[in-house]
Structure 1
Amino acid sequence: MAAELDDADLTILRVLQDDCRVGLERLAQECNLSVPSVQRRVKRLRDSRLIQKEVAILDPSQFDYKMTFIVLVELDRETLQQLDLFRKRAKAEPQVQQCYYVTGEADFILVCTAKDMQDFEALTHRLFFENSNVRRFRTSITMDRAKVGLHLPI
């Protein structure tokens, strides 16, 4: 799909990655195109799922969820069914912000948020202790959010 993108499409995507609320007029200016042309391109990029979602990144220090945890999870059984069950459980948990199926020592890496240690402990019970297929999990507590984002360097 990326091969079908021209310079204007890439410019639109770069600008939207920085600020998805930017107006069509500014996008048109950045691309040297008309507003209707940019509007059609943005619609095509959304319809093709190159733009999967447009979100706001919140400042966690302004809310109750002030702690972030990186959790490496090892499963006992790695059948397709067991992997899918864990994925579904992680996706359904609101405190799991990101879930990656990975190679190496762990099967999954989760980025989780919690209000405090007691809240995280409750999360571990729901996700790990109540799941008989979780062999073990290892947790790192983040000290600082040095960089947060999902930008692609296009």
Structure 2
Amino acid sequence: MEIDRIDRRILVELQKCNRIPNIELAESVGLSAPACLKRVKRLREGGVIVNDVSIINPELAGNKMTLLVSVEMERDRADIYQIFRQSIMKAPEVSQCYQISGSYDFMLVVCVKDIQAYEGFVERVLHTDLNIRKFHTSVSLRTVKFSTEIDLSAHE
């Protein structure tokens, strides 16, 4: 799907706040309200806008720990990877999962209320998968930057 300069401006604004009224959005990108609404609808239907969500403060929701978990699988096989991906999709503690290159096969971002909750996750998900060779856990001490925004300035 082709996106032009105005589409990019719309996307930049929506990434800041997707609850902006259409009239304000249209004004900020220099369109009429109906034309803006039509473009936003096209961006959603075309899969450019994937979802509209509320980002919750994990600490206020009770999840005070963020852990980065690197996972190395026993063998480099597609079926093993698929089984692991399916188990991770079911684990509510995992907020992000990336299949990566390098020494490890997957990188997980795990958010839990405390170390006991993490131990429960490890026992339930990681220790039950016999195809995991090893995993390494790093505890996040502080969030320096967290953003869901995609930089669109390089495309102009």
TM-score (norm 1): 0.95
RMSD: 0.9
Q: Which amino acid aligns with 2:12?
A: R
Alignment partner of 1:124 is 2:114: no
Please list, as runs of the form range in 1=range in 2, the aligned pairs for 1:75-86 lying within 5 A after superposition. Answer: 75-86=73-84
Select 1:101's aligned residue among 78, 91, 99.
99
What one-letter code is carried by the residue in structure 2 that aligns with 1:71? V
| 1:70 counterpart SS class | strand
Deviation, 1:127, is 1.7
- Provide the identity percentage: 36
Aligned partners of 1:89, 1:57: CA distance in 2, in Å? 24
Runs of 4+ in 1 over 2 A off after TM superposition: none
- Correspondence 1:68 to 2:66: yes
Alignment of 1:1-154 (within 5 A): 1=1, 4-154=2-152
CA drift at 1:152? 1.1
1:63 CA drift (Å): 2.0
Q: Where does structure 2 lack aligned partners over 5 or more consecutive residues?
A: none
In structure 1, runs of 5+ residues without a counterpart are none
Q: Distance between the aligned counterparts of 1:127 and 1:68, measured in 2? A: 17
TM-score normalised according to structure 2 size: 0.94
* C-alpha displacement of 1:60: 1.7
User: What is the number of residues matched between the two proteins?
Assistant: 152
